[in-house]
Amino acid sequence: MLNALKIFSTQRSAWLLLFFSAAALEGTALYFQHGMGLQPCVLCVYERLAMVGLMVAGLLGALAPSSLFFRLLALAVGLFSAIKGLLVSVRHLDLQMNPAPWKQCEFIPNFPETMPFHQWFPAIFNPTGSCDSSQWSLFGITMVQWLVFIFAVYALLLILISLAQFKKARHNRSLFK
C-alpha cells in the first residue's frame, strides 16, 4: 500500500485532487455564507484558512510532483493545515456539544498583525456568527462534525503519503517474463 501511495504522490493528478477537493469544500463554505445566508464564526474562519492551506499544499505538490523537495514541502504544508483544521474543528465541536458560559470563542480573529486576513479578504474571513450555534446539518450530522471527519481523513491520508516517501522502491521480480 505504501508503495502505491508513493507512486500516486509522484503524479500531478494526486496533488490536483487535493487542490480541487479543498477548493470545492471552500466554495461550499462560501455558498453557505453568501448563498444561504449562514453566518460564519471565528472558528469557522480558522477552519476555512486551514482548507486554504490544503489548497496551497495541492498547488505546491502539483508544481513538480516528481521532485522530492516539492512533495515534502507540500506534505508539510498539507499536514500542518489538516492537523490544525482538525484541532480547531474538534474545539468547535466541543463548544457546540457542551455549551457553557465560560467556554466562548472570540469575536475578532486572532491573526498576526502582519497578516490580517479578515481585513484583506472580509468576504471570506470576516466572522459574523456565534461558535456555539449549529446552523446546518446533513443526515443529522452538523457542519462541524463533517469538518472533523473531513480534516481527519485529510490528515490520515497525508500521514500515510508522508510515510510512503521513505519507503524504498521495490523491484518486482518475476519468474516468468
Residues carrying an active site annotation: 41, 44, 48, 105, 131
Q: Are 131 and 46 in contact (CB under 8 A)?
A: no
Check: CB of residue 135 under 8 Å from CB of residue 92.
Answer: no
Query: The C-alpha cell of 115 is what?
Result: 497578516
Distance in angstroms (rounded) separating the CA atoms of residues 19 and 98: 33
Measure the CA–CA gap between 22 and 54, rounded to whole angstroms: 6
Number of H helices, E strands in the chain: 7, 2
Closest of 165, 8, 161 to residue 78, by C-alpha: 161
Angstrom distance (rounded) from CA 151 to CA 113: 27
Contact 13, 168 (CB under 8 A): no
Give the residue from 32, 27, 20 showing the smallest Cα distance to 142: 32
